[in-house]
Structure 1
Amino acid sequence: MMLKERRDLYLPEVIWFAVACRVLTLLLQALLNLLIPDHEADAFTPPRLSEPNLCDWLLEWLLGGLSRWDAEHFLFIAEHGYLYEHNYAFFPLYPLSLRAMAEVVLWPLQGVLRLRSRLLLSAVLLNATFSVLASAVLYELGHVVLRCRKLAFLSATLFCLSPANVFMAAAYSESMFALLAFSAMWQLEGRQLWTSGLLFSLAASVRSNGVINAGFIVYSQTKHLAFQLQAGAGCGVKLPQILGRFSSLAASVVLTFAGVSLPFALFQFYAYLRFCEPDSDPEHTVPRPLLQLALEKGYRVAGMNGVKPLWCSWSFPIVYTYIQDTYWNVGFLRYFEPKQIPNFLLAAPVIVLGLWSAWLYTTTNPQLCLTLGFVRRRAEGRKGENSDKPEVGFCCSSVFVYIVHAMALLVFGTLCMHVQVLTRFLGSSTPILYWFSAHLLHNYEPLLLWDEDPSVQNVAPLSGKPKPSISFPGSIRGQVSKNPIVGLLLNWRMCTPLTRCILGYFLSYWLLGLILHCNFLPWT
C-alpha cells in the first residue's frame, strides 16, 4: 500500500511541473515577441479577409508569436479548408480540432474575436492541454516499460522541458501527435489492442509518420505468438495449430496496417477528388484575395484553369509525396550540401543522443537484438542465468521495439528530410530521447539520490559500480522529493559535465526556440 501511495505522488508532480512550463512558455513568448522585432521571412502569410478589431489586436500581441511558420498553414486550413495544393502536406485532424473548438467552445467569443483569432486561441489552449496530458501519459508509459517509477518521473519532467518546446506550444500538431502516440503505446503495453490501434490510427491522421507506428502492434503480436510457440514447444503443439496461429497473425498484420494507414489513404483520396476530378472546385468559390495570392506566389488551386497536376497521372497518385518533392525539395540525400552544415550542427545533439542510446542498448543486449526479442529470456536473478542483464530501467528488454522505432525515424529523418526538423520530429514521436536522457541523469549524476525502492537497482547497469550516496538537496525520505530537475539546476556547479550537457541542451533549445521561432527567425 505504501508503494502505491508513493507512486501516485509522482503523477501530480509531473502535471504541476508541466502546467508551470506551459504558463512560463506563454509568458516568455509574449515578452520576447514584444521586445524583439519580427524578421521579414519569406514564409506563407495569407491575407486577412476581415479587419481586426481591438480584441483581435490584443490577442495577436499576446499570442502572435505562436502563429509563425507552419502554424500559419494550420490556422489557414482551419479557417478556409484545403484551398491550395501545398496545404495537403498538413494532415486534417489537428486543423479540424481547432475549427471545432473555435466554433463550439469559443462560440461565445465570436462577438469580440474574429474566426482567425479564435482559432489561434483554440490552438494555444488545446496544445497546452495536449502537452500536459502527454507528459502524464509519458510518465505512465515509462512506468510500465522501464519498470522504474523514478526514471519515468525524470523522463516526464524532461519532456516538459523538451528541446521541441516551442512547437508543443505553437499552432503545430506536435502536442496532439505526442499525446495520441504515447497513449497508443501505453495502451498496447497493457494489451489493449483495439484501443491502441484506434489511437495509432488517429495519430496517423495528425502526422504522416504516424503510419509507421503500425509496426508496434505488428511487433507485439509477433512477439506474443513467438512466446506462445516457445511455451508450447514442450507440450507437443501440432502443425495445424501452428499454421492456424500464423494465419491469425497474418490476418492481424493486414488489418493493423489497413487500420492505421486508412486515414492517410482517405486523405490522399480526398486530394485526388479535389484536384484530379473535373469541376470539383471551381475558381469562383475562392475569395478574390486568396486567389490573387495564388497567382502571385504560384500556388495551385483546385480546378484552376482546368489543368490537372502532374501527380494525378501517377499509378499511385499520392499528393503528399509530390508536395514534399516539389515545394520543399525533400528527398534522399538532397539536404547533404555544404550550405546546410549549420542545420546539421543544429540537429547534432539529438542525432548524438539517438545514436548513443542505440549503441548503449545493443552493446548491453546483443543477444536480445540479434533475436529481435522473440526468444524468451531466462529468469533473471538465478545464479548463472543472465543475472547481469537488467530487466529494470532503460536497458530492459521491453525497450527494444522503441529503440528500433527511434532509429528508423532518425535514419529516415537524417537522410531524407530537412535535417533541422529532427529535433521536433523525434521529440514528439518517440519516448527514447527522454528515457535515455533520464537514464544518463539517473545513473551518472551523484546529486540524484533517490529513496530506496524495490523496483530500482542501486547500481549503474553498465559499470556495476554502486551509485554514490550523496544527499540531494530537497530530498525527504519517505516521500517524493522536490522536482529533481529543478534541484539540479539550483546546484548547477555541483553537477557533472554530462548532466550540464544534457540539461544545457534541453534548456538552451527550450529558450532559443522561443526567441527565434516566435520572431519569424529560422529554427528546428
Structure 2
Amino acid sequence: MAAPLAAIVRLAAVSRALVLALSLLARLLFRPYDTSASLHPPCLSSPSSHNSTAAAAAAAAAISSLAVWDGVHFARSAECGYEYEQSFAFLPLLPASMALLSRTLFAPLVPVLGYRAVLVISGHVLNNVAFVAAAAYFYRLSVLILKDSGAAYRASVLFCFNPASVFYSSLYSESLYALFSLGGLFYLFSGANNVAMIMLAVSGSARSNGALNAGYFCFQALLQAYDAAIQKKRPILAVQALITGFLRSTFIFIPFFAFQAYGYLNICLHGNSDELRPWCKAKLPLLYSFIQSHYWGVGFLRYFQVKQLPNFLLASPVLSLAVYSIAHYTKMLHQLFQSNNIHEKIIATVEGRSVELCESSDVATVLKSAFSSGLNNKKQAHTEVKKRKSAASEATSASLDSDRSTGRILKVDKDECPILVLPFILHLTFMTFTAFFVMHVQVSTRFLSASPPIYWAASRILVSPRGSSKRWGYFIVVYFIAYILLGSLLFPNFYPFT
C-alpha cells in the first residue's frame, strides 16, 4: 500500500499547486467583482497599527485581499476574536489554527507584512497541507471499506481533483474538516477508538456537520451489541457496548456545544446590548441555528424560489452523483439483508474477518481489527475466532448453496463491502436531504465534497464496461475539470461560485 499512498500524496500536492496557480493567475488577469475584502477596519477591542515601507504595505494589502467570501470572516475572527453575533457562524478551529501558526512558525513575518497578512498566509499554508493529509487518509479509509486498492486509488484521485477544490486551498474550513473526519473514520474502522473519538470531535469544531460523525460510533455499538447478544449470548456485554457507544457519541458533540455555550456567555450573559437577543430566551439557546436562519435565510424549503433556479442547476451535478451513490449502495444493502448469510457477515465484520467474506485483495495487513469490540482481551478473541472459523466457513458455504438453489445469489463486487458502507450511506442521505431542502443549495458542492461514497460510486462508473456508464464517466470527468476551472476563476475574484 505504500506505493499507491505515496502516489496519492504526490497527486494531492500537485492538485493544490495547480488550484493555487490557477487562482493567482485569475486574480492577476481579472479585476475582482467586489473589492471590499481589501477593507480592514481595526479590531474593536485592541486596534493594531503596523508601520512598514510602501513596498511591504503593498505586498501586505495584496496578500490580505486573498481572503474572500467566508475567508474574510475567518481571518477577522483569527485577528480580532468573535466581535459580532454573526461571526459565531464560523467555528473556531480554523481561526485558532491560523492564529497559532501566525504567532509561532510565521511570527518572523509579522513585523514585515503585518499580522493580518501573515494570518492569511498561515491559513493558506495550513489548509493546503491539511488537504494533502486528508487525501492520504481518504485512500487508507477507502482501502479498508472497499477491500480493493485499485478502487480506493481511483476514488482518491477523484477526491484530489474534486469539484470543490478551490475551497480546500482557500481560507475555508473544508480542509480541516476533511482531515479530522476522514482521519477519525480511518482510525475508527482500524480499531483505534480513542484516537477516532478525539479526531471526530475536533471535526465538529471545524464544521457544524462534524457532530453527525457521532453516528459512526452508534453503528459500531450496534454491531458490537449484536455480536455480544446473538453470537456470544452475553446480554451484559451488549448493554456495555451500547453504553460505551453512547458515551463516545456524546463526546463528539462536546466541541460544537462548547462553542455554543461560549457564544451564550458572551452575548446573552456578558453582552453590552441592553436588549436580550431573541435566541437567548429560547429553551435551547442555539446561536448557530439562529444565525443561519436570521442572517442567511437558511430553513426548510426557504430557498425554493424561482430566482434560485440557477443555483439549483449549479448544484445539480453533485446532488445527482450523491443520489446515484445512495441508490446504488441501497440496492446492494437490500440484496445483502435478503441473503441467508447476513448473520455471518455481521459477526465477521465485528471480528475483523470481513476481509475473507468480502473477497478482499492484499489489504488484510491493514484491516487487523475493524470494529474490534474492545470487550475481550486479544487471547480470548483469537481463541473464539479459531473456534468459529470453520463453522462460519461451513455456514457461509451452506447459505450460498441455499441462495443458488432458490435462484437468488448475492453478488458482492470486488470493490465493495456492504455492511461497512451502511453508515456512510445513512450519513450521505441525511446530508443530501439537508443540502437540497434546507441549505442554500449551491453550497452542496462543497458541503458534500468530503463524503467518500460519492467518489467510490464515481470510480465504479469510470471503470464500468457498459456503454451508458462510459458516457456518464465522461460527464463526471468533464464536471470535475470544469468546476475546478470555474472555481479557480470566479471564487478568487469574488464572483458567486457555490
Q: Same fold per TM (> 0.5)?
A: yes
2:456: which partner in 1?
Answer: 435
Q: Does structure 1 retain, via aligned residues, the 8 Å contact 2:464–2:470?
A: no
**Residue 421 of structure 2 aligns to which amino acid in structure 1?**
V
Provide closer, same or farther for how the CA distance between residues 401 and 344 of structure 1 changes in structure 2, counting only shifts above 3 A. Answer: same
Q: Does structure 2 retain, via aligned residues, the 8 Å contact 1:86–1:327?
A: yes
**Residue 182 of structure 2 aligns to which amino acid in structure 1?**
F
> Which of 474, 481, 488 lines up with 1:507 in the alignment?
481
**Residue 77 of structure 1 aligns to which amino acid in structure 2?**
S
Please identify, of 113-122 and 8-17, the stretch whose mean Cα deviation from structure 2 is larger: 8-17
Q: Does structure 2 retain, via aligned residues, the 8 Å contact 1:362–1:369?
A: no
**Residue 303 of structure 1 aligns to which amino acid in structure 2?**
N
Structure 2: gaps (5+ residues): 43-47, 347-356, 360-396, 404-408
Q: Does structure 1 retain, via aligned residues, the 8 Å contact 2:333–2:422?
A: no
Structure 1: gaps (5+ residues): 1-6, 281-301, 447-462, 464-494
What is the aligned-residue identity percentage?
31
Q: After the TM superposition, which residues 106-255 of structure 1 pair with which residues of structure 2 at under 5 Å, given as runs?
A: 106-232=106-232, 237=233, 241-242=234-235, 244-255=236-247
Shift of 1:45: 5.8
Secondary structure of 1:332's match?
coil
Q: Distance in 2 between matches of 1:332 and 1:149?
A: 40
Provide closer, same or farther for how the CA distance between residues 149 and 522 of structure 1 changes in structure 2, counting only shifts above 3 A. Answer: same
Is 1:303 equivalent to 2:265 in the alignment?
no
**Residue 499 of structure 1 aligns to which amino acid in structure 2?**
G
Q: Distance in 1 between matches of 2:80 and 2:63?
A: 24
Shift of 1:323: 0.4
TM-score (norm 1): 0.78
Provide closer, same or farther for how the CA distance between residues 363 and 45 of structure 1 changes in structure 2, counting only shifts above 3 A. Answer: farther
Is 1:328 equivalent to 2:350 in the alignment?
no
Q: Does structure 2 retain, via aligned residues, the 8 Å contact 1:184–1:195?
A: yes
Q: Distance in 2 between matches of 1:192 and 1:198?
A: 10
2:447: which partner in 1?
Answer: 425
Shift of 1:171: 0.3
Shift of 1:262: 0.8
Q: Does structure 2 retain, via aligned residues, the 8 Å contact 1:227–1:374?
A: no
Q: Does structure 2 retain, via aligned residues, the 8 Å contact 1:41–1:521?
A: no
Shift of 1:251: 1.9
Deviation string, structure 1 residues 186-235 (Cα, Å, up to 9, x no partner): 00111111111111100011111011100001101211221333323xxx
> Which of 372, 384, 405 lines up with 2:401 in the alignment?
384
Is 1:516 equivalent to 2:490 in the alignment?
yes
Q: Does structure 2 retain, via aligned residues, the 8 Å contact 1:99–1:119?
A: yes
1:92: which partner in 2?
Answer: 92
Shift of 1:133: 0.6
Q: Distance in 1 between matches of 2:117 and 2:203?
A: 26
Q: Does structure 1 retain, via aligned residues, the 8 Å contact 2:64–2:116?
A: no
Q: Distance in 1 between matches of 2:493 and 2:288?
A: 28
Whichever structure has more helix as a proportion of its residues is 2
**Residue 254 of structure 2 aligns to which amino acid in structure 1?**
L
Number of aligned residue pairs: 436
**Residue 352 of structure 1 aligns to which amino acid in structure 2?**
S
Deviation string, structure 1 residues 236-286 (Cα, Å, up to 9, x no partner): x3xxx31x2343134224312321111111111111111111xx3xxxxxx
Please identify, of 434-443 and 513-522, the stretch whose mean Cα deviation from structure 2 is larger: 434-443
Is 1:396 equivalent to 2:418 in the alignment?
yes
Q: Distance in 2 between matches of 1:18 and 1:510?
A: 14
Shift of 1:368: 3.7
Q: Distance in 1 between matches of 2:327 and 2:488?
A: 32
- CA-atom RMSD in angstroms: 2.5
**Residue 57 of structure 1 aligns to which amino acid in structure 2?**
A
Shift of 1:337: 0.9
